[in-house]
A and B are shown apart, each in its own frame.
Chain A
Amino acid sequence: MLNTLLPILLFAALALAVLGALKRFLMWRRGRPAKVEWLGGLMKMPRRYLVDLHHVVERDKYMSKTHVATAGGFVLSAVLAIAVHGFGLHNRILGFALLAATVLMFVGALFVAKRRRNPPSRLSKGPWMRLPKSLLMFSASFFIATLPVAGILPEGMGSWILGGVLALGVAWGVSELFLGMTWGGPMKHAFAGALHLAWHRRAERFGGGRSTGLKALDLDDEAAPLGVEKPTDFTWNQLLGFDACVQCGKCEAMCPAFAAGQPLNPKKLIQDMVIGLAGGNDAKFAGSPYPGKPLGEHSGGPHLPIVAREGQGLVDAETLWSCTTCRACVEECPMMIEHVDAIVDMRRHLTLERGATPNKGAEVLDNLIATDNPGGFAPGGRLNWAADLDLPLLSDKKQTDVLFWVGDGAFDMRNQRTLRAFVKILKAAKVDFAVLGLEERDSGDVARRLGDEATFQQLARRNIATLNQYKFKRIVSCDPHSFHVLKNEYGELGGNYEVLHHSTFIATLLAGQNIALGQHALAQQGAAITYHDPCYLGRYNGEYQAPRAVLKALGLEVKEMERSGFRSRCCGGGGGAPITDIPGKQRIPDMRMADIRETGAELVAVGCPQCTAMLEGVVAPRPEIKDIAELVAEALIEVPSEAKKSAARRETAEVN
C-alpha cells in the first residue's frame, strides 16, 4: 500500500510546492525592477550559503551544528526519498543512504526540539514551535518507510493500520517541509532564503566584501517614486529578502532601540513587510511586538501605504524613526537581510513626499539647506575654532598630501578640543596637510539618514565640485559619519577618494615612527580604560584594529566590553535619532554607559563626535570620555622646533 501511497503523496506535495513557489515569485515581482545576475546569482548561491552565510551562523555554534545536521539531513533525505519512494528505485544502497540521512536529520531535529523547550524571548513561537515536531515526524516516517527498502524489514510488512499511520506521518512531514516552504510556513526561509542569496541587492557583501553605503535615489527621473510608500515601491529583490527571515530574533537581541523600549523591533519590522507583501494583519505574529504597541491593530497590503496618513497603517512612523542606523541587526542577521536600507527607503517617502520628519527634523533639514550645517550657525564661523592655529587652506595651497576634513563638529565646543588635538598631532608629525575651511559643507550624512535624499545629493555634489578643484592624496576625518559618507556614498555621485579615519591615520603615523609617544599619564597610574567602537567606523567600515593599536602604543590596556567590536552597542547618536528623539523607557547612551561601567574603566576612549556627545550626556558620576586624538595629543613628545626656540628667546627680553 505504501508503495502506491508514497509516490502520490510525494509528487502531489512537490507539484503543489512548485505552484506555491510560482505564486510567491509573482508576489515578489510586484516590486519595482532591480538589476540582478539571474543565472550567475543562482550559480554563486551554494558558495554564498556554505561560506559567507556560514560565517555568520557559526557565531552561534549550537545552532550552526544543529542546522548543518537538520538541513543537511533534510536535503539528502528529500532527494533520496524522491528517488527511492517517488521513482521506486528500491536499491539497497540508496535505502541505507536514505536511512542515514533521516537519522542525521532526526538527531538535528532533536536539538531543534531541545532549544524549543525553553526558548529565549527573541525566538518566535506559534508555527515555529510546531517545526521540530514536523521535522521529527518527517525523518521518523521516512526512516520506517525505508526499512523494507534497505532489507532490514521484509517487504509488505505491517498491517493497513500501521501503513495508514505511516502515511499520515509522511503527509504531515511533506506538508510542512515541501508545501510550507512556498505557501508561507516556517520552512519558507529555506526557499526564499536561497533565492535571496542568489539575487541579493548587495552582492558585494559576499566573498568577504563589504557594502554599507546607502543606494542613491534617481532624482532626475520624475516618474520614479521618492522612497517607499507602499510595499510594491520596494525593489522586488528587497521583497524577496524580507521573505527570507527565519525569525531567529538575533536582530532584536542586538537592536539598541528595542532594548531602550522604543517602538522598534527589526524582526517585527521585516515580518510586517511580509504582511504588506501578502496582505493581512499582524495579529498572528508570534514574536515580541514593538515595545508599547499591541499586536492586531496594524494591517496592510501590497498597494496600501505602509505608514497611513490617517489612522493605523501597517507600521507607525515612530517605529521607522526609532532606528539609529547602527547596522547591528544587519551584522547579526544570518539571512543577510538589509533592515537599514528598508527603513531609510520608507523614511525617504515620509520626508520627501509628506514633509513629516518628526521633532527637530524639519529644522535641521532647513538649516542644512540654508547654512550647510545642521545647527544653523553662520557659515562664516566654520573655521573660528582654529582662529589661532594658522591652518593651511587648500584654496591657497591648491595641493596637499592630507586633506583634513573637519566636519560639523567645528561648531561644537566639545568637539573643537578633539579637532585641536588632532591638529597638534598633524603638526608634530610634520604632515603636509590643509583644510577646506569655509569651502567645506556638511557631508550630508544626517540629511540622508533622515530620508532627505535631495538635500544629501545637493550637499554631496557641491562638496564633490569643491574637492575636484584641488589635488590631494587622501582625506582624513575625525568624524566616522563624514568618513563613511565620503568614502562609500560619494562614489555613486562621482566622488572617489581615499578616505581615512583619524585613528587609522594616527596608527600609520605610529607605524612609520612619524610621531613619538610617551606613556600616557593614565597608564602610569595603572588606570583601566575601555574603547567604544563607533558604528560608522566599525560595522560600517570594518576598522576595529587601528584605534586599539593606538591605545596600545600609549601604554593603555583596553578592558573590552562584552558588546564590542562588530557587536558594539550604538551610543544612540546615529541616523538622526537624537533629532527625531522618539521616546522609550530608557536612553540608549545610558545603557551604553552601563556597559562601560561594567568593565570598571575610569575612561572610555571614543573616535566619533556623536559618541562623545551622547556619552557625555550621561549624568555624572561616570567614566571620563576622551577622543583617541586627545589621548594621543596628551602623550605626544614634541621635538622642539626652531620657531619655539626663537619664541623662548623673546620671553627673556625685559620690558621696563
Chain B
Amino acid sequence: MPHNELNVVALVSVGAHPTSGRARRAEQDARAVELGLRLAGSKLQVVHAGDPHAEALRAYLGMGLDELAVLEQGAGADALPALGAYLSGAGAQLVLTGSQAETGEGSGMLPYLLAERLGWPLVVGLAEVERVEDGFAQVLQALPRGQRRRLRVRLPFLASVDNAAPVARQSAFGPARRGQLRAEDVVVVDDALLSEAQLQPARPRPKRLKVIKAKTGAERMKAATAKASGGTGQVLKDLPPQAGAEAILKLLVEEGVLR
C-alpha cells in the first residue's frame, strides 16, 4: 500500500562485503531504502553522513533514486549531530535506518541515540508499515522465528530494519550513473570517543554449544521448528518506573550482563 503523502527519510551508510571487504551498499540500509521506496516512491529522501565522493553510494542511486543527500564530513566525525540537525529540519514523519553499520564503529547505537536526541519513538526491526492515519502508523515489528507484533506508533518516529524487512531491489547501472550525490555543508563535530578510544577488531561472540539430543529426523525437525520457549519471561504492566527499572536490573544481573 503506497503512502505517497508520507514523508519518509532513509539513512544509509557505506557497507563492506563480508568475504571480500570491498565497499558496497550496506545490506540492511539497502532494505531500509527498499521499504522507503515502497512507502513513498520517488519522494523518498535518502541521506548519508560522510564522503560525497564514495562510489559505493551510487549503488543506492541505482535502486531508482534521482539524488542522495550527503552531509559532508570526514571519517573521524560524529554522524549523530549532523543527522539530528538535518532530520529536525527535514519535516520527516518516518526515518528508516539499518540496524547496524557494516563498517566503522558498527555499534548499532545510532538509531537509539538519534531517537533519543529527536525525542521520537523507535521501532526496532520494522517489517512492514500497514497503515498510516490521523498521525499514527500501524506497523508490524519482526520478532525472532518469523513472529510479528502489530504496533501503533505516533508520527514522527524512527525505525530500524533488519533482515526481516523486504529484500532490496537490484541496483541498476543506468540510474546509478545518472543519479546525483548532492553534498551539503554541515557543522562537523568530531567524535570524542573515537579520538580517545582505540579500535580493535571485534572478537566473535561466544556461542552456546548446541547439543543435539534428537535421535531421529522427526525429533530434529521438531527441535528446529519449535517455538522459542524462554518460559520464565513475564510481562510487567502498570508498574511505577522505579519498580520496572529494578526488575530489569535484576534480570541483567541474573543473565550476567551486569556484574
Assembly CA distance A354 to B174 (angstroms): 8
Alpha-carbon gap, A377 to B18, bound state (A): 10
Which of B169, B170, B173, B178 is close to A454, meaning CB atoms less than 8 Å apart?
A: B173
Alpha-carbon distance between A216 and B63 when the two chains are bound, in angstroms: 24
Interface string of B1-41 (1 = CB under 8 A from A): 00000000000000001011010100000000000000000
Interface pair B19/A371, CB less than 8 Å apart: yes
Contacts of B22 in A (CB 8 A): 369-371
Quick check: B62 and A371 within 8 Å, CB to CB?
Answer: no
Q: Which residue of A lies closest to B171 (CB)?
A: A355
**Smallest Cβ distance from B218 to chain A, in angstroms?**
26
Contact among B17, B19, B173 for A352, CB-based, below 8 A = B173
- Among B63, B174, B178: residue with most chain A CB under 10 A: B174
**Interfacial chain B residues near A465, Cβ < 8 Å:** none
Contacts of B169 in A (CB 8 A): 355, 362
| Bound CA–CA A361/B171 (angstroms) | 11
Asked whether, in the complex, the Cβ of A370 is within 8 Å of the Cβ of B20, the reply is yes
A357 touches B170 (CB 8 A): yes
Indicate which residue in B20, B24, B63, B174 contacts A353 across the interface (CB closer than 8 Å): B174
A379 on the interface (CB 8 Å rule)? yes
Q: How far is the CA of A450 from the CA of B19 in the complex (A)?
A: 23
Q: Which of B121-171 contact A (CB under 8 A)?
A: 169-171
- A356 on interface, CB distance cutoff 8 Å: yes
CA distance A452 to B174 in the complex (A): 11
Mask: chain A, 164-184; 1 = CB below 8 Å from B; 0 = not: 000000000000000000000
Q: Is the interface of B mostly helix, strand, loop or mixed?
A: loop
Residues in A with CB closer than 8 Å to B171 are: 355, 366
Shortest beta-carbon distance from B255 to chain A in Å: 35
Instruction: Determine how close the nearest CB of chain A comes to the CB of B245; give it in whole angstroms.
Output: 45
Q: Does A632 contact B (CB under 8 A)?
A: no
Chain B nearest CB, measured from A552 CB (Å): 44
Chain B residues contacting A357 (CB-CB under 8 Å) are 170
Tell me if B111 is interfacial: C-beta within 8 Å of chain A.
no
Contact with A along B239-253 (1 / 0, CB 8 A): 000000000000000
A331-364 to B contact mask, C-beta < 8 Å, 1/0 = 0000000000000000000011111110001100
Contact of A370 among B17, B63, B174 (CB under 8 A): B17
With an 8 Å Cβ cutoff, the count of chain B residues facing the other chain is 17
Is B223 part of the binding interface, using a Cβ–Cβ cutoff of 8 Å?
Answer: no
Query: With A370-B17, A378-B19 in contact, is A355–B24 under 8 Å at CB?
Result: no
- Does chain B have a CB within 8 A of A226? yes
- Encode B164-206 as 1/0 by CB contact (under 8 A) with A: 0000011111110110000000000000000000000000000
The interface residues of chain B lying within 8 Å CB-to-CB of A351 are 170, 172-173
B64 on interface, CB distance cutoff 8 Å: yes
Interface size on A, residues (CB 8 A): 25
What CA separation (Å) do A1 and B66 show in the bound complex? 73
A376–B20 alpha-carbon span in the complex (Å): 9
Tell me which of B63, B64, B174 contacts A226 (CB under 8 A): B174
* Beta-carbon nearest neighbor of B62 in chain A: A355
With A370-B24, A376-B19 given, is the CB distance from A365 to B170 under 8 Å?
A: yes
A365–B19 Cα distance when bound, in Å, is: 15
Do A222 and B177 have beta carbons less than 8 Å apart? yes
Cα–Cα, bound, A617→B97 (Å): 42
User: Are B172 and A354 within 8 A (Cβ)?
Assistant: yes
Task: Tell me the smallest distance from the CB of B21 to a CB of chain A, in Å.
Answer: 9
CB distance from A97 to the nearest CB of B (A): 60
**Residue in B17, B20, B63, B177 whose beta carbon sits within 8 Å of that of A355 in the complex:** B63
> Is A371 a contact of B17 with CB atoms below 8 Å?
yes
Question: How far, in whole Å, are A369 and B58 apart by their CA atoms in the complex?
Answer: 13
User: Would you call B17 and A353 a contact (CB within 8 A)?
Assistant: no
A369 touches B19 (CB 8 A): no
Smallest CB–CB gap between A363 and chain B, Å?
Answer: 9
Note all chain B residues with C-beta closer than 8 A to A365. 170
Most buried by B among A226, A366, A370: A370
Nearest chain A CB to B191's CB is how many angstroms away? 28
Per a CB cutoff under 8 Å, which of A226, A356, A371, A378 touches B173?
Answer: A226
Q: Please tell me if the beta carbons of B172 and A377 are within 8 angstroms of each other in the complex.
A: no
Q: How far is the CB of B30 from chain A (nearest CB, A)?
A: 10
CB pair A452 B173 closer than 8 Å: yes
Contacting A356 at CB < 8 Å: which of B62, B170, B175? Answer: B170
Inter-chain CA distance A142–B221, complex, in Å, is 83
Nearest neighbor of A362 in chain B, beta-carbon distance: B170
Does B19 lie within 8 Å of A353, measured CB to CB? no
Q: Which residues of B48-101 are within 8 A (CB) of A? A: 62-64
Contact, CB under 8 Å: A355 / B64: yes
Q: Roughly how many angstroms separate A129 CA and B26 CA in the complex, as a whole number?
A: 60
CB-CB under 8 A from B170, the residues of chain A are: 351, 355-357, 361-362, 365
- Bound-complex Cα distance A395 to B152 (A): 61
Q: Which residues of B contact A369 (CB under 8 A)?
A: 22, 24
Smallest Cβ-Cβ distance to A350: which chain B residue: B172
The residue in chain A whose Cβ has the minimal distance to the Cβ of B174 is A353
CB 8 Å contact bits of A183-205 with B (1 = contact, 0 = none): 00000000000000000000000
B181 to chain A, nearest CB (A): 16
- A378 and B21 CA atoms in complex are apart in Å by 9
Task: Give the complex CA separation of A372 and B21 in angstroms.
Answer: 12
Interchain CA distance A351-B22 in the complex, whole Å: 22
Task: Give min CB distance, B25 to chain A, whole Å.
Answer: 9
Q: Contact at A353–B172, with CB atoms within 8 Å?
A: yes
CA distance A222 to B19 in the complex (A): 33
Contacts known (A355-B62, A355-B64, A355-B169); A377 close to B19, Cβ less than 8 A: yes
Distance from A275 Cβ to chain B, minimum over Cβ atoms (Å) = 26
A372 partner residues in chain B, CB cutoff 8 A? 20
CB closest chain-A residue, reference B178: A222
Output the nearest chain B residue to A357 by Cβ-Cβ distance: B170
**Cβ–Cβ contact B175 & A353, under 8 A:** yes
Given contacts A222-B177, A378-B19, contact A352 B172 (CB under 8 A): yes
- Which chain B residues lie closer than 8 Å to A455 at the CB level? 173
Q: Mark A217-237, 1 if CB is under 8 A from B, else 0.
A: 000001000100000000000
Tell me the bound Cα distance from A351 to B62 in angstroms.
Answer: 11
A344 to B239, CA, bound (A): 65
Q: Which residues of A contact B178 (CB under 8 A)?
A: 222
A477–B165 Cα distance when bound, in Å, is 43
What mask results when residues 437 to 474 of chain A are scored 1 for a CB within 8 Å of chain B, else 0?
Answer: 00000000000000011110000000000000000000
Give min CB distance, A309 to chain B, whole Å: 12
B20 touches A378 (CB 8 A): yes
Q: A378 to B20, alpha carbons, bound, how many Å?
A: 6
Give chain B residues whose Cβ lies under 8 Å from the Cβ of A376: 17, 19
Q: Complex: how many Å from CA A369 to CA B19?
A: 12
Using a CB-CB cutoff of 8 Å, which residues 351-410 of chain A contact chain B? 351-357, 361-362, 365-366, 369-372, 376-379
Measured CA separation A429–B24 after assembly (Å): 44
- B172 cross-chain contacts in A, Cβ below 8 A: 351-356
> Which residues does chain A contribute within 8 Å of B175, judged by CB atoms?
353, 355
Complex Cα distance, B174 from A352, in Å, reads: 5
- Which residues of chain A are near B177, meaning CB under 8 Å? 222
Closest approach, in angstroms, between the C-beta of A371 and any C-beta of chain B? 5
Across the interface, do A371 and B174 meet the contact criterion of CB distance under 8 Å? Answer: no
A5 shortest CB reach to chain B, Å: 60
Q: Cβ of A371 and Cβ of B20 under 8 Å apart?
A: yes
Docked Cα-Cα span, A371 to B16, in Å, equals 11
A600 CB to nearest B CB, Å: 39
Known contacts A355-B62, A355-B63, A355-B64: A379-B174 contact under CB 8 Å? no
19 A-B pairs within 8 Å (CB atoms) are namely A222-B177, A222-B178, A226-B173, A351-B173, A354-B172, A355-B63, A355-B64, A356-B172, A357-B170, A362-B170, A366-B171, A370-B19, A370-B20, A372-B20, A376-B19, A378-B19, A379-B19, A453-B173, A454-B173
A interface residues, Cβ below 8 angstroms from B: 222, 226, 351-357, 361-362, 365-366, 369-372, 376-379, 452-455
> Other than the known A356-B170, A370-B17, A370-B20, what 16 A-B pairs have Cβ atoms closer than 8 Å?
A222-B178, A226-B174, A351-B173, A353-B174, A355-B62, A355-B63, A355-B175, A357-B170, A369-B24, A370-B22, A370-B24, A372-B20, A376-B17, A377-B19, A453-B173, A454-B173
